[in-house]
Amino acid sequence: MIDVRNPRTGEIDHRFEPASAAQVTDEARRLRQAQPAWQALGPERRADVLRRWADAVEAHTEALVAALSVDTGRLKIARVEVEGLPRNIRRWAERGPQIIAALDARDRPSAFPGVSISTRHLPYPLFGAIAPWNFPVVLSTIDLVPALMAGCAALVKPSEVTPRFVEPLRETVAAVPELESVLAFVLGGPETGQALIGAVDYVCFTGSVATGRKVAEAAARAFIPANLELGGKDPMIVLASADPVQAAKTALRASVVASGQACQSIERVYVARAIADSFVAALVDEARACRPNYPDIGIGEIGPFIFARQAEVVQAHIDDARAKGATVHTGGTVERLGGGLYLRPTVITGVTTEMLVMREETFGPVIPVTVFDTIDEAVALANDSSFGLSAAVLAGSAEEAEALGARLEAGAVSINDGALTSMVGDAEKSAFKLSGIGPSRSGDAGLTRFFRTQALIRQTGAPMPLAAFAEGG
């Protein structure tokens, strides 16, 4: 049995039996049997089935929001996640057939005389996903929907930390029989995850770097592609031309939304000396105004830590910064409210590159601010990280922000905003450095990555005789 803690009460109020390796194998076998018919339906009819799934999700909105808000201890973001799912499904149902039609290239002559080539696009039969706890619905479905659109069957393992939403989600799938035959969710922890990797043909993993390495190793043994979306330590650079008060509001939102439990959270802020004092003052004021969503889940900006151990990591980063001489202006101590663990937005100045809060992923509402003097210094500081998920630049003009953004080592750069990748699903991007490996999950590549290509190479003339390769010939 796996015990599940309620993030608002701190109590274990849910338990479940993890799927065994044998159950994962059985489920994979069932899905594989149904996959050829799903593929044969073709893109338009798969899109129709997906649209019916979107309708079913909409019909179950309240049950999904209720379960997800217990999983995550937050209400508004639970609703945003759940209401975003049918939109995402419909977006892929709309766009998918066009992308697939464009892929199916017509015959073309080869550079090799007498030969023509056509290319078929064959989906990996069984797609697998392993998801984290921070946005359970979004991250259990973000790769799944385009994989289904491509014609894969799909086996998804959400995080064992947030399993409650899965039951109502299964009900939405059961409402669409064609989908039920090719889509299953299995619940469990690391062992179930490992079993899944051994059972599928392509795995998409979202989670920490440490687990990502284990997934990559297991995928290498299983000889399947692993698409890894891992942690981040995203920098934001605030140039002297930016409005310091507006910049502070943007920095705060991009750092503390979802209590900072987001991979593309801003975790380091670099501000130009000319506006640093007014920026920090505004940031501290804005941070102080944030309230926990306690005792009423319907108020405030800061939810509890979903995963209790994460609160310990965040506290350790803050304590390490304090011990090494940083100044903590707001927040700074994890509070226990009604059994839930909360941290108010924590603005820190006087940080150095040796501090944990500047090097490792914090994954909490913590905003370390560093002052810079020159643009080159800002770029060097922002790029001084083993992560490269995304970044942000705020300036007085888009041109100025973009010129600097182009110098950053990150897969996506928000220009005059922060963490836009959390809201924009159609920007193609890679994860740089330790933040990930593999094709983009967003944009058209989010779908095309699930195809293998098969070339049909036609000889239109006479096949070459062996004599053509004979010595002295």
Which residue, 123 or 411, has its beta carbon nearer to ligand NAD? 411
**Whole-angstrom Cα distance, residue 156 to residue 143?**
10
Does residue 131 bind ligand NAD (CB under 6 A)?
A: yes
Closest approach of ligand NAD to the CB of residue 232, in Å:
6
**Whole-angstrom Cα distance, residue 280 to residue 251?**
10
Closest approach of ligand NAD to the CB of residue 146, in Å:
14
Does residue 439 bind ligand NAD (CB under 6 A)?
A: no
**Whole-angstrom Cα distance, residue 124 to residue 202?**
7
**Whole-angstrom Cα distance, residue 253 to residue 16?**
35
Which residue, 81 or 229, has its beta carbon nearer to ligand NAD? 229
Draw the binding track, 210-239, toward ligand NAD (x: CB under 6 A; -: no contact). -x--xx-------------xxxx-------
Closest approach of ligand NAD to the CB of residue 435, in Å:
6
Does residue 389 bind ligand NAD (CB under 6 A)?
A: yes
CB-nearest residue to ligand NAD: 193
Q: Is 229 a catalytic residue?
A: yes
Closest approach of ligand NAD to the CB of residue 158, in Å:
6
Q: Which of 132, 198, 292, 345 binds ligand NAD (CB under 6 A)?
A: 132
Report how far Cα 266 is from the mean position of its chain's Cα atoms. 15
206 beta partners: 229
> What token pair was written down for 322?
């304090």
Show contacts with ligand NAD in window 331-370 (CB under 6 A). 361, 363
Closest approach of ligand NAD to the CB of residue 193, in Å:
2
**Whole-angstrom Cα distance, residue 230 to residue 24?**
24
Show contacts with ligand NAD in window 234-293 (CB under 6 A). 263
Q: Which of 373, 353, 374 lies closest to 235, judged by CA?
A: 353
Which residue, 186 or 242, has its beta carbon nearer to ligand NAD? 186
Does residue 160 bind ligand NAD (CB under 6 A)?
A: yes
Q: Which of 263, 286, 301, 361 is catalytic?
A: 263
Distances (CA, A) of 333 to 317, 336, 357: 11, 10, 14
Q: Bin 37: left if φ > 0, else alpha if -120 < ψ < 50, else beta.
A: alpha
Q: Which of 7, 125, 193, 418 binds ligand NAD (CB under 6 A)?
A: 193
**DSSP letter (8 states) at residue 462:** P
Within 10 angstroms of residue 135's Cβ, the number of other Cβ atoms is 26
Strands 153-157 and 346-349: unpaired
Within 10 angstroms of residue 39's Cβ, the number of other Cβ atoms is 18
Does residue 394 bind ligand NAD (CB under 6 A)?
A: no
Within 10 angstroms of residue 61's Cβ, the number of other Cβ atoms is 16
Does residue 81 bind ligand NAD (CB under 6 A)?
A: no
Identify the burial level of 461 via C-beta atoms within 10 angstroms of its C-beta, where 0-12 means exposed, 13-18 middle and 19 or more buried. exposed
Report how far Cα 138 is from the mean position of its chain's Cα atoms. 8
Which residue, 50 or 431, has its beta carbon nearer to ligand NAD? 431
**Which of 28-36, 63-71, 130-138, 148-156 is the region at the interface with ligand NAD (rule: CB under 6 A)?**
130-138
Does residue 207 bind ligand NAD (CB under 6 A)?
A: yes
Distances (CA, A) of 384 to 352, 403, 409: 12, 19, 9
Q: Which of 190, 325, 338, 396 binds ligand NAD (CB under 6 A)?
A: 190
Q: Which of 189, 225, 425, 439 binds ligand NAD (CB under 6 A)?
A: 189
Closest approach of ligand NAD to the CB of residue 324, in Å:
23
Closest approach of ligand NAD to the CB of residue 154, in Å:
15
| Residue with tokens 């944009």, as numbered in its chain | 443
Q: Which of 459, 393, 30, 412 lies closest to 38, judged by CA?
A: 30
**Which of 1-9, 207-215, 243-251, 331-339 is the region at the interface with ligand NAD (rule: CB under 6 A)?**
207-215
**Whole-angstrom Cα distance, residue 333 to residue 107?**
65
Which residue, 229 or 286, has its beta carbon nearer to ligand NAD? 229
- Summarize as ranges the residues that interact with ligand NAD (CB under 6 A): 130-134, 139, 157, 159-160, 189-190, 193-194, 206-208, 211, 214-215, 229-232, 263, 361, 363, 389, 431, 436
Residues catalogued as catalytic: 229, 263
